[in-house]
Structure 1
Amino acid sequence: MPEYVQLVKPTTELREAYLDFYQEWVDSGEDMVPWVISKDPTDFDAMVQSLLNNEKDENLPAGWVPDSTYWLVTANNKVIGAVNIRHRLSEKLFNSGGHVGYGIRPTERRQGYATQLLAMALEKTKELGIEKVLVVCDEFNTASARTILRNGGSADVSFTDENGKEVLRFWIDHHL
């Protein structure tokens, strides 16, 4: 059973814990998921502020949608994962991005954290008024597909992106 965790908005108070989380992803050589964790944390205060601004729909690049980022944090302030929730979908997000992108640091996987993180993120989508939530994963990411299904996902038509990668698409309906 995973230890107690909570979703926390990005904060400069978790600088060291977040930098440890970030460095583990960098050292792993894996793609950083969700995309927001690939933001350069060198100017940590500016990075945190930009994440908070995205939620308020401030200073977004053209074509971008507002989004909320949360860190999954243990009782002793270890950052285990991150989730990025898009408030609405652009055409690209509808095809291959979805409303929710999430990731668990490599050393903390296979302990149930992803299922908890997605469940908590779905509560946040309810608060945002999103009734049908699109969650996607790479066709080879069977662990993520299982996590989505455990959280009530129903498979939809998959999408082949511009690189030829197959993206599995799932809908989670809050009114079921």
Structure 2
Amino acid sequence: MEKIKLVQPGKSHEAAVKDYTEEHFSVGEDSLHGSSLLTEMESYSAWLAHLTKESDRATVAPDWVVSTTLIALRDSDQKVIGTINIRHELNEFLREFGGHIGFGVRPSERGKGYATEILRLGLDYCRMLGLEKVMVACYKENIPSAKTILKNGGILEREFIHDDGKEVQVYWINL
């Protein structure tokens, strides 16, 4: 695994983010975890505007919480390796189903340790926010995500069946 860093996406990252998105689509994935509605926005500029709105308590949507979305860039080639969305607090919905963090890794870079590093760097960001513990959830069938959470100190709290019929695991990580 090569060195990566988490950065706020900007206009200069548009082509790299588009490449990241297209790789997911090319393997039949239409959901990009940890990207805060990236695939639902009409344009890259609209996504950046959305990220700005959700990062400020004064402009975040009433049913959302303040959050930060970062991209994981590989130092050697500036390729987007993954994304992470960090919620600064939990509302009732997130406490029950989602947690503080959502993250994803581009398909061609999975199994190389990048998810573990993205989550580790995200936890560092959570510490900077003053959080003492964070909740992270994943589908039980997503064994790589569960292993990533466990490698970062996750402690399984509970399991439940989601509305889609899949079993979800909820972990807490003490910071």
TM-score, scaled relative to structure 1: 0.92
Structure 1's unaligned 5+ residue stretches are: none
Report the Cα distance in structure 1 between the residues aligned to 2:167 and 2:93, rounded to whole angstroms.
14
The alpha-carbon distance between structure 1 residues 47 and 58, as it changes in their structure 2 partners (threshold 3 A), is farther
2:21 counterpart letter in structure 1? Y
Post-superposition Cα deviations, 1:46-77, rounded to whole Å, max 9, x if no partner, equal 21121122111343332111110000001121
Sequence identity, in percent? 36
Q: 1:35 and 1:47, CA in 2 relative to 1: closer, same or farther beyond 3 A? A: closer
Amino acid at match of 1:8: V
Q: Output the aligned Cα RMSD.
A: 1.5
Matches within 5 A, 1:1-176: 2-30=1-29, 31-36=31-36, 38-40=38-40, 42-75=42-75, 76-174=77-175
Q: Match for 2:66: what amino acid?
A: P
Deviations 1:141-173 (A, max 9, x none): 011101100000111011222222211011001
Separation of aligned partners in 2, 1:147 and 1:130? 20
TM-score by length of 2: 0.92
Structure 2: state its 5+ residue gaps. none
Distance 1:115 1:64 in 2: 26
